[in-house]
Homo-oligomer: A and B are copies of this chain.
């Protein structure tokens, strides 16, 4: 028949003549392949080759099915990782926000007698958090309560009220969502945000949209939700008219101001403080949020030099992902800071797995993820986005 040549093309690429070689240009492939197949057909070799050919075809089928399932998202992500290989991305403003001593702070808020005492949340077996008073005794998260009691006999241990923390967390997340609807929560008390878009919009916002009333009550003010009025450009329309029971704070349009505002709103809403880090990537933002804890923030400007200056003397242990074991192993190599990490890359690349030393390399260059993607869509959040409390509403 006539179809033989074609079906052979597809089916017997293994057996057909490979004319990819000097001196073999322009041969009559069909004729030659006919002779080759005729001579081979039915032999053990032939049967084996056919089997292998089928294996390869299956593998290709698998690949094509895999390809068909790829979402645009995935391809996009791959594109990004390729871009990351190319160079540093400084264009995103990433924020890491971390509630201060979260569980302990909630309990202190709701039971003022605890405020002056060293206290911790958890049990005699395990503590989840301690307040700052208790920390002066060496009492901290992940310490068993009975040991903490030895360090600080007056320590008050409050049992966990998970439902309460969850409810407060919801309130905090509503604030997060106002700055980045795609924010990535890492636990009840911390999250990453990409506020790049927010900042762009914010540039055109009138002061009224950046003005918040300070209420001294511990409960959030957002009781009556009036119309979000008066978007006039003239600052005269809404100058600092002190409200009923508080003064007015006006926040600027810079990243730092936006984050101050976010922390202000969290505190107004929950009476709890948060700390934050602002940086061009997640790894740096996380380190920054710890820098001025509690109730503080720190930012790294989006410039290579600023990043490198920040990284230079940073202890490796400060970086998320470097725990006590890795810290100890690096210490054995006289590596304590990120700069030292960078200086020793050659040796590290020989002593650690590729994954590990690539991670080290990224750290030493101050690189990290610049895109935040929420893994799982959390339930019913960011739907009723928090209302700002503009001056006009006062």
A-B contact pairs, 7 of them (CB 8 A): A17-B140, A23-B101, A35-B150, A63-B333, A66-B350, A66-B351, A82-B345
A38 CB to nearest chain B CB (Å): 8
A147 cross-chain contacts in B, Cβ below 8 A = 35-36, 39-40
Indicate whether A187 reaches chain B with its CB closer than 8 angstroms: no
Indicate whether A328 reaches chain B with its CB closer than 8 angstroms: yes
Indicate whether A204 reaches chain B with its CB closer than 8 angstroms: no
Q: Known contacts A35-B150, A36-B147, A75-B347: does B81 contact A23 (CB below 8 Å)? A: no
A275 cross-chain contacts in B, Cβ below 8 A = 22
A67 to B135, CA, bound (A): 40
Indicate whether A320 reaches chain B with its CB closer than 8 angstroms: no
Q: Known contacts A70-B347, A328-B13: does B18 contact A140 (CB below 8 Å)? A: yes
Is there an interface contact between A350 and B78, defined as CB atoms closer than 8 Å?
A: yes
Interface residues, chain A, CB within 8 Å of chain B? 13-14, 17-24, 27, 32, 35-36, 38-40, 56, 59-60, 63-64, 66-67, 70, 74-75, 78-79, 81-82, 100-101, 132, 135-138, 140-141, 143, 146-147, 150-151, 275, 290, 293-294, 315, 317-318, 324-325, 328-329, 332-333, 345-347, 349-351
A20 cross-chain contacts in B, Cβ below 8 A = 315, 317-318
Question: What are the 9 closest A-B residue pairs judged by CB atoms, nearest first?
Answer: A22-B293, A32-B138, A23-B135, A23-B132, A78-B346, A39-B147, A78-B349, A60-B332, A79-B346
A13 CB to nearest chain B CB (Å): 6
A39 to B347, CA, bound (A): 40
Is there an interface contact between A63 and B290, defined as CB atoms closer than 8 Å?
A: no
Q: A17-B138, A23-B132, A39-B146 are in contact. List 12 more A-B contacts (CB 8 A).
A: A13-B324, A13-B328, A22-B100, A22-B132, A23-B136, A35-B147, A36-B138, A63-B332, A67-B333, A67-B350, A78-B349, A82-B349
Is there an interface contact between A332 and B23, defined as CB atoms closer than 8 Å?
A: no
A70 cross-chain contacts in B, Cβ below 8 A = 347, 350
